[in-house]
Copies of this chain bind each other. A is one copy, B any other.
Amino acid sequence: VTTALLGLDWGSTCLRAYRYGDSGQILEARAFPYGVRRLPPGGFAQAFAESIRDWPEVPVLACGMVGSRNGWLEVPYLPTPAGIEGIARALTVMTAPAGRLLYLVPGLRDPKRPDVMRGEETQIVGVLAQHQESLWRGTLLLPGTHSKWASIDDGMVTGFATMMTGELYELLTCHSSLAAPTTTATVGDESAFTAGVRAARDSGPAGALSRLFSARVRMLDGDLAPTSVADYLSGLLIGDEFRTAFVSGWIDNTAQMQIVGDAALCSRYQQAASIFGLSTVPTPEATAAMGLWHIATEAGLLATART
């Protein structure tokens, strides 16, 4: 089978490399702990060389924090509204060691808030490519360290917002006075999680930030086991994303919504969504890898690969 493209999903903590056949099938996948914040001694060049070692000399397309200010080469953001055509036209090419051409996907910038993303635009392209109808209109939620709420209309990202939910959860459960001294892991107390989601939903305009200390009070009161504090905080923070999304107009009860990402995390968000009366559609997997393929196809990189 001919190798048509190499793709790199290169984020803050992880580098994933893909080798594609000429109909977009993934022939080989590799993962390295070489995020842009934890590179090997030889830096970007070494990480790059290791990730594509022994693979054919076809173009390489990369997305994510590799194109950020602290990445290998800072690539300008593309303003929203933006779709696959605009992204494919805005690739930046650089010459990597050994003369390899490396194409970088631009991040997106929503000038209205303002807000920025890098990497999620490629996941979004991957999700939208799987939709049966190209005119899908709705909200894509990509939960994580920095959750993204993206509004989609006719294949374009019309705007988006970032919530630092995953990072706040880690700070509060690992470093704060709310952290249980005996455990940092989530035990999986579903009722504590849903209690947190409901507390956020019912917090009104004050919001869940004003309720964080309630995790400690509930624990002192004996209403919450010390090992369940993390689950309660998870519910409080995820619930506040939905509360914020409603009051900010990112979502309403008539909109279509899809949650994209890690299966366990998506499952928590789907639980929270149902508490807010939202139904969500199933999530495809490996969306970044699919997005890289579709962007490369749109940009005509594959033709180059076959010469």
- Point out residues on A near B: beta carbons under 8 Å: 69, 113-116, 145-146, 161-164, 167-168, 171-172, 175-177, 204-210, 212-214, 216-217, 220-221, 240, 244, 247-248
Contacts and interface: CB of A to CB of B under 8 A. Distances in A.
B247 A204 contact: yes
Contact of A176 (B171, B177, B206): B171
Contacts of A240: 209
A281 to B, nearest CB: 25
A209 B116 CA distance: 17
Nearest to A215: B164
Contacts of A214: 113-115
Given A113-B217, A168-B209, A207-B209, 16 more contacts: A113-B214, A114-B217, A114-B221, A115-B214, A116-B220, A146-B177, A163-B209, A163-B213, A164-B213, A168-B212, A171-B172, A204-B248, A206-B207, A206-B247, A209-B209, A209-B240
22 contacts: A114-B214, A114-B217, A114-B221, A115-B213, A115-B214, A116-B216, A116-B220, A146-B177, A162-B213, A163-B210, A163-B213, A164-B213, A167-B176, A167-B177, A171-B175, A171-B176, A175-B175, A204-B205, A205-B205, A206-B244, A206-B247, A207-B207
B206 A208 contact: no
A205 B247 contact: yes
A162 B217 CA distance: 10
Nearest to A69: B220
A209 B207 CA distance: 8
B172 A209 contact: no
A244 B207 contact: yes
A144 to B, nearest CB: 12
A114 B249 CA distance: 31
A18 B214 CA distance: 33
B175 A248 contact: no
Nearest to A237: B209
A244 B210 contact: yes
Contacts of A115: 213-214, 217
A244 B172 CA distance: 20
Contacts of A212: 164, 168
A208 B205 contact: no
A284 to B, nearest CB: 26
CB-CB nearest 8 A-B residue pairs:
A205-B205, A207-B207, A162-B213, A209-B209, A205-B247, A171-B171, A210-B244, A206-B248
B210 A161 contact: yes
A220 to B, nearest CB: 6
A208 B210 CA distance: 11
A182 to B, nearest CB: 13
A115 B212 CA distance: 11
Contacts of A208: 209
